[in-house]
């Protein structure tokens, strides 16, 4: 099949949806599909292996829609697979009008939509999707909660829906295997190193994480935090807030940022730490790709209680949940696991078992099945 993936972001631009699109494109190409990615002009053009990346659009405003349609018509794909939303789309309407425009043009390609998030969208964000949902042949949700909310909002879409989870964009426990010892991958200080993974953003819970670490240090715990992320206080206002908070808490020497790393190095850093800490302000969700990544690496993780039940993963089996936005609760959860290594091992085994659900082999197989289903 000739597959055209449409995404506003793609590596090396840092965006979780772009990272997911890259892994999907590579997996489809390995399964002998012909894959082209249409994306934003800020991404360099490339043709690595069998994936062709075409950065055509300077932006995603309505005025760019004719050029996008023209490019797709020249490609004549069997599948047009839209990844929505992404940072690169910004507030442009071209992605929202793409599927109805393709139908008016009578292009025979199957129109597939992956919604990377839905339940967390505002009502305006949901209604922007109405035409796309109406004219999609198949709709992929990344978790059951999004599927349930979408089916309630747009009952006519129910027969089109399928859940295919996100996968880890930084490999897996098996891919992280290397010759280095765990000690060589961690800072030299004699500490118990906790891991935090993901871009520095408000929903990652830094205002909770920093005081929780301060509490642990004040109680005599020799712990440090290895943040596999890039802190740029000179560039971003929120990064300045986090940097100032770390300095004011006296934790500058106990929180170390790795900066941007290649995916294989990210995986090995993750494997070297004893415990991951991911205190999302909106609770653990399966469309948090960073949460999926630590599970896929078989790590024990302290995170925040999900607002809704999660499929395949549960508190006490695959993760340890604490109250969101509560530094003391987070510190107590970390202490509980540090004091109970048997529980840490149980969570690791549970995460390793759940990793099969998020494996890219399974995701690619399910996606190809969606491509092969008859149009409705």
Give per-residue burial for 256-295: e unless 16+ CB within 10 Å, then b.
bbbeeeebebbbbbbbbbbbbbbbbeebbbbbbbbbbbbb
Amino acid 151: pLDDT:
96
Tell me the residue ranges of DSSP E strands in the chain.
2-6, 34-40, 51-57, 79-84, 110-115, 138-141, 161-163, 192-197, 223-228, 255-257, 275-278, 301-304, 320-322
Amino acid 188: pLDDT:
64
Report the 10 Å Cβ neighbour count for 311. 13
Q: Examine residue 12 and say whether the peptide bond preceding it is cis (omega within 30 degrees of 0).
A: yes
User: Virtual CA dihedral for 217, 210, 260, 19, nearest 10 degrees?
Assistant: 130
- Is the alpha carbon torsion for 46, 197, 285, 340 positive or negative? positive
The arrangement of strands across the sheet holding 2-6 comes to 51-57, 34-40, 2-6, 79-84, 110-115, 138-141, 161-163
Query: Which residue's entry shows tokens 């909310």?
Result: 149
Rounded-to-integer distance, Cα 262 and Cα 273, Å: 18
Rounded-to-integer distance, Cα 211 and Cα 245, Å: 9
Give the chain's mean pLDDT: 91
Euclidean distance between the first and the last CA atom of the chain, given in angstroms as a whole number? 19
* Domains identified in the chain and CATH numbers: 2-167+359-372 (3.40.50.2000), 182-358 (3.40.50.2000)
Profile the chain (376 residues) by mean pLDDT over runs of 10 residues. 95 88 96 95 75 92 94 95 92 95 93 95 93 96 95 94 93 55 60 92 96 97 94 96 97 93 84 91 93 92 93 94 97 97 96 91 97 82
The candidate with the shortest Cα–Cα distance to 313, out of 326, 294, 332, is: 294
The candidate with the shortest Cα–Cα distance to 164, out of 112, 114, 110, is: 114
Rounded-to-integer distance, Cα 129 and Cα 121, Å: 10
Amino acid 6: pLDDT:
97
The β-bridge relationship of strands 2-6 and 161-163 is unpaired
Rounded-to-integer distance, Cα 53 and Cα 63, Å: 22
228 touches 200 (CB < 8 A) = no
DSSP per-residue string spanning 197-232: ES---GGG-HHHHHHHHHHHHHTT--EEEEEES---
Amino acid 181: pLDDT:
47
Integer-rounded Cα Rg, in Å, for the chain is 21
Amino acid 59: pLDDT:
94
Query: Which residue's entry shows tokens 């760019």?
Result: 64
Amino acid 260: pLDDT:
85
Angle, CA of 241, 263 and 39, to the nearest 5°: 80
283 touches 245 (CB < 8 A) = no
């Amino acid at each position: 099949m000739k597959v055209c993936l449409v995404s506003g972001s793609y590596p090396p631009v840092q965006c979780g949806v772009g990272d997911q699109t890259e892994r999907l494109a590579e997996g489809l190409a390995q399964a002998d599909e012909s894959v082209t990615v249409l994306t934003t002009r800020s991404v360099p053009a490339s043709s690595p292996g069998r994936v062709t990346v075409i950065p055509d659009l300077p932006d995603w405003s309505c005025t760019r829609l004719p050029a996008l349609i023209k490019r797709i018509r020249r490609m004549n794909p069997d599948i047009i697979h839209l990844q929505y939303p992404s940072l690169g789309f910004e507030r442009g309407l071209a992605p929202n009008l793409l599927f109805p425009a393709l139908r008016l043009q009578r292009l025979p390609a199957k129109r597939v939509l992956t919604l990377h998030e839905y339940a967390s969208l505002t009502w305006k964000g949901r209604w922007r999707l109405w035409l796309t949902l109406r004219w999609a042949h198949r709709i992929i949700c990344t978790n059951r909660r999004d599927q349930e909310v979408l089916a309630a909002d747009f009952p006519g879409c129910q027969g089109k829906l399928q859940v295919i989870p996100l996968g880890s964009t930084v490999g897996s426990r098996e891919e992280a295997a290397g010759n280095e010892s765990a000690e060589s991958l961690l800072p030299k200080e004699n500490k118990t190193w906790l891991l935090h993974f993901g871009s520095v953003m408000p929903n990652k819970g830094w205002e909770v994480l920093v005081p929780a670490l301060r509490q642990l240090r004040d109680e005599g715990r020799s712990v440090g935090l290895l943040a596999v992320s890039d802190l740029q206080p000179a560039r971003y206002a929120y990064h300045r807030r986090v940097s100032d908070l770390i300095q004011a808490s006296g934790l500058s020497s106990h929180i170390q940022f790795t900066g941007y790393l290649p995916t294989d190095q990210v995986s090995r850093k993750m494997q070297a730490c004893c415990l991951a800490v991911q205190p999302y302000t909106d609770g653990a969700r399966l469309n948090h790709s960073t949460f999926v990544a630590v599970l896929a690496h078989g790590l024990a993780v302290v995170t925040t209680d999900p607002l809704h039940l999660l499929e395949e993963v549960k508190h006490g089996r695959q993760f340890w949940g604490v109250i969101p936005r509560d530094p003391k609760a987070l510190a107590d959860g970390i202490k509980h696991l540090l004091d109970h290594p048997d529980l840490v091992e149980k969570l690791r085994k549970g995460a390793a078992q759940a990793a099969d659900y998020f494996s890219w082999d399974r995701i690619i197989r399910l996606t190809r099945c969606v491509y092969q289903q008859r149009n409705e």
